[in-house]
Amino acid sequence: MGADISSFDFSSYLIKHRQSVESALDASLGPERPEQLREAMRYSLLAGGKRLRPILCLAACEFVGGNPDLALPTAVALEMIHTMSLIHDDLPAMDDDDLRRGRPTNHKVYGDAVAILAGDALLTRAFEMVALRSPGVSAESLLKVVGELSLLAGAPGLVGGQVVDLECEGKEVDLETLEFIHMHKTGALLKACVTSGALIGGASVEALNALSIYAKGIGLAFQIIDDVLDVTASSDVLGKTAGKDVLADKTTYPKLLGLAESRKRANDLVAEAKAALEPWKMNAEPLLALADYITDRDR
């Protein structure tokens, strides 16, 4: 490892960006009425979490030489979409879970109807953050980001992946279908984080192409490790119910390939992702470290 890369302090980088993301998330929710809706939105959005998605967005913006402050509203929007997907995923009609980010799930506290509506309000607020609350970013870039967000959230992304995932519960699923689910349910959002940050930073076509390969690799690796941690980690550490996949009879990477091979697959994907950024090595420390964080994490 070269001197420049080893001198990069990833831990300080994470702390700094997490702080700015947390303040921006807090400021993004106004005095919504009625009060119950405001509380339900704040309850899940400000419940912690690794904040990987907004940080990826800021890092991609920096990678292409952009000012990360300009990407902060979009970073917030991406965390809003992520959070709403968690709220809806936990509902009785979907994964039916009662623990998320170390606390009772949104519907356990506010009821199913308000949880659905809090999710809807976060999803729509995400588009508001980009379209109406992103000062200093050109209308052309914002339009492209809105396009990215609409593709990632809808049928071509999260919703499509979730429907296939639900359809496959209790069925034999091959690796190709599993990869489809993972790339849509999880990979699409991570890819949009990287792409939208880069768009706001004024990325070249070459950089966008490289980032798209990077994002594809880390997106699948992230979900493989999520599957692995579901088997190997405790609910206390995860902040969500461990062992859910086996209970729901879901096909996962560990089920199809075993734990060791799943980890190897995730490591290989991260190595491929990092290789795509090789020509930009000097600017890529945060994205390279974030890629490693995906496989090294314990929650």
Would you tell me which residues interact with ligand GRG (CB under 6 A)? 49-50, 52, 81-82, 84-86, 88-89, 94, 101, 123, 153, 158-159, 162, 185-186, 223, 226
Give DSSP secondary structure letters for 137-199.
S-HHHHHHHHHHHHHHHSTTTHHHHHHHHHHHTTS---HHHHHHHHIIIIIHHHHHHHHHHHH
User: Minimum distance from CB of 57 to ligand GRG (Å)?
Assistant: 13
When the beta carbons of 55 and 211 are compared against ligand GRG, the nearer one is: 55
The residue sitting closest to ligand GRG, measured at its beta carbon, is 49
How is residue 226 written in tokens? 């999520």
- How far is the CA of 12 from the CAs of 17, 18, 137, 289, in angstroms? 9, 10, 27, 12
**Which residues have C-beta within 8 Å of that of residue 261, sequence separation ≥ 6?**
none
Residue 102: count other Cβ atoms within 10 Å of its Cβ.
Answer: 15
Using the minimum distance from each CB to ligand GRG, give the nearer residue, 267 or 283: 267
CB nearer ligand GRG, residue 226 or residue 245: 226
19 SS3 class: helix
Sequence-ordered strand ranges (E) for the chain: 99-100, 103-104
| Nearer residue to ligand GRG within complex by CB, 72 or 210 | 72
Residue with Cβ nearer ligand GRG (50 or 133): 50
State the nearest-atom distance from the C-beta of 208 to ligand GRG, in Å: 23
Q: How far is the CB of 12 from ligand GRG (least distance, A)?
A: 20
Q: Smallest distance, Å, CB 222 to ligand GRG?
A: 7
Smallest separation (angstroms) from ligand GRG to the CB of 161? 7
Q: How many whole angstroms separate alpha carbon 131 and alpha carbon 185?
A: 24
